[in-house]
A and B are shown apart, each in its own frame.
Chain A
Amino acid sequence: MYSKDGEDYFVVDAHVHMWDGSDENQLNIHGAEFIECFYDYHRNLSPEEYVWEFRKYQKYTEQNFMTDVFENGYADHAIFNPAALPAFYKNGFSRDLAQDMARRSPDRLTYNHNFDPRNGEAGLRHLEDAAREFGLKGVKVYTAEWHGDSRGFKMSDRETYRYLEKCQELGIKNIHVHKGPTIKPLDRDSFDVADIDYCATDFPDLNFIVEHVGLPRLEDFCWIATQETNVYGGLAVAIPFIHTRPRYWAQIIGELLYWIGEDKILFGSDYALWQPKWLVEKFVDFQIPEDMQGEYGQITVSQKKKILGLNAAALYPHIEVPEHLRLDFVPTTAEPVGALIK
């Protein structure tokens, strides 16, 4: 929970990682390039005092995570959205440790698994096992991931649909789709969000959370999200602009509020890409610059509360929001002490 100016904010960090980009885990040069690229994002958009040494960034500890996300980062709950990247890392990019951590702290951590439709039947069985093992409520999908000669797939592919049907059957309701800065997409425009339009229409019972709000295809994402009631936007990667380019950030959040609305935007730090502490603090302090308010209006406290945690809690009902942190909470007027002593 974060408190500022008499307001309490329930915080769900809907996008965190426990990764291993260490030299030992790299399968090939792409593993090195990938973590270096991540590090550049980290260095480029973080306030200086939050920049880590590269070695630590490659592989941080559970203690680092717990301190940064929960103690310093104000999160009441955090959701792992693991990236597998088996083509780049020996044991995968996401550490199995994330699964153990979620098992040990189910009240604070949710583990989403991932799937790759190109794994066919075997992948479907694996998804069933994982759903049973982890009680999956959500899953992460990375459409630009490499797989043999293939450099990506679409959410509208027939094979993907079989997996989405399986998700429906297994009660995995939240499908987090990475649409944003990506690893080496090829001729197809892997940022393209058009495929979301199809799967969101065909699977009305599932929620599609478009991570990174489709940046750099924000306009296409907004357009689709307004047509579909079950499409959400995850702010990971977009929100760090709040520090380096606050006026640009104002336009992003202003457009999102206009197009998809305050109920469909989810906060995520993408830890360890960025430290949640400064993101949460700056977001709560943020206001649309005055000269832009004619266009976008002001962002309200209740909008911030929804974005920072309440919207994610609505998608993941096992995350309990204490009564006093809900928006409809009306504090009962305390009886004067005298009235109690009868």
Chain B
Amino acid sequence: MNSTATRFRAIEDRAWKALSAVTDPELDESLTTLGFVGTVEASDEFLTATLRLPTAFCSPNFAFMMAADSADALRAEFPEMSTRVVLEGNADSERINSAVAAGVGFTDAYPVEAAGDLEDLRAVFRSKAHLASLDRLISKLVSTHAVLPELLPTIRLVDVPEMHEREALLRRRNDLGISIDDNAFVLVNADGSRWDINDLAVQIRFAKATRISIEGNAHFCSGLLRTRYDEPPPGH
């Protein structure tokens, strides 16, 4: 491989890494894990990433968020380069791509059809992602650390042993601006307030249903993506 090709390859690897930090807000998983990043190509002047989604009808709102977030991630990683994100095969690709390239918001891209910008929707899904990560953590505490469910409301972050689920929860709390102090309680709502303990069983159950719902959606999307592009699961 000549040195130019090596240099481009290194840029592309960095770009993949930057894109792996972008998540599908609805599925709460990385775009690269989901297989939504199709290609990344560097040249002397340009860095271009293509995104592809499971169906032509994937919601423009979510598609827009992912394209805009990817564009931001590449711009932040390569301020010196001209970067481009191209969404392929969506019914609204053209519209989304030109809006993202121009750096305008969703309501500018859909002046007539859109009833509002996407921040509220983002907030809804951040809160769902938090609840789902809470379910993963408390299920682990109950099943492998023998914590009695009725004691969960008294548990603070400092009481939770180091594990993947703890990290994941902290990340979601950070996104929502919830305290990650050692003394903070684990069972809190998206606004940081503590759970109502009178309703504990139902709330635990609701967290679980939320997790199942998000995971099911991810199953659907990754399955449809593979069918659409006729390929094995990502990572193979």
Contact = CB atoms under 8 A, between A and B. Distances in A.
Contacts of A186: 59-61, 110, 113-115
Interface stretch (B3-11, B180-188, B216-224): B216-224
Interface in A138-196: 149-151, 181-190
Chain A contact residues: over half helix, strand or loop, or mixed? Answer: helix
Contacts of A34: 57
Best-surrounded residue of B61, B106, B112, B213 (most CB of chain A within 10 A): B213
Contacts of B208: 255
B61 A185 contact: yes
A187 B114 contact: yes
Contacts of B29: none
A251 interface: yes
Given A187-B106, A251-B212, A33 B57 contact: yes
B91 interface: yes
B206 A187 contact: no
B145 interface: no
Contacts of B76: none
Contacts of A222: 206, 209
Interface residues of B, number: 41
Interface string A28-60: 011001101100110111000000000000000
A217 B213 contact: yes
Contacts of B60: 184, 186
Contact of B212 (A30, A149, A252): A252
B100 to A, nearest CB: 16
A41 B216 CA distance: 14
Interface stretch (A91-99, A241-249, A301-309): A241-249
Contacts of B121: 187, 189
Contact of A185 (B59, B206, B219): B59
Nearest to A30: B91
Given A40-B55, A150-B113, A45 B223 contact: yes
A184 B114 CA distance: 12
Contacts of A245: 219
Interface in A103-117: none
Nearest to A226: B202
A102 interface: no
A259 interface: yes
Contacts of B101: none
Best-surrounded residue of A30, A41, A187, A259 (most CB of chain B within 10 A): A187
Interface residues of A, number: 41
A37 B106 contact: no
A315 interface: no
B117 interface: yes
B118 interface: yes
Contacts of B55: 33, 37, 40
A124 interface: no
B205 interface: yes
Contact of A187 (B54, B56, B116, B213): B116
A149 B213 contact: no
A114 B213 CA distance: 28
Interface in A296-335: none
A198 interface: no
B57 A259 contact: no
Contacts of A216: 26, 213-214, 216-217, 220
Contacts of B113: 149-151, 186-187
A252 B228 contact: no
Nearest to A255: B209
Given A33-B56, A36-B56, A181 B212 contact: no
B209 A218 contact: yes
A258 B205 contact: yes
A183 B212 contact: no
B223 to A, nearest CB: 5
A215 interface: yes
A211 to B, nearest CB: 15
Given A36-B56, A216-B217, A248-B215, A187 B224 contact: no
B92 A184 contact: yes
B103 to A, nearest CB: 18
Interface string B55-95: 11101110000000000000000000000000000011000
Interface of A: 29-30, 33-34, 36-37, 40-41, 43-45, 149-151, 181-190, 215-220, 222-223, 241, 244-245, 248, 251-252, 255, 258-259
Minimum-distance CB pairs A-B, first 9: A216-B217, A219-B209, A218-B213, A33-B56, A44-B227, A219-B210, A187-B114, A37-B55, A149-B112
24 contacts: A29-B91, A34-B57, A36-B56, A41-B224, A44-B227, A149-B113, A150-B113, A181-B220, A182-B57, A182-B59, A184-B57, A184-B60, A184-B91, A184-B92, A186-B60, A187-B115, A188-B116, A189-B61, A215-B217, A218-B209, A218-B213, A219-B128, A252-B212, A255-B208
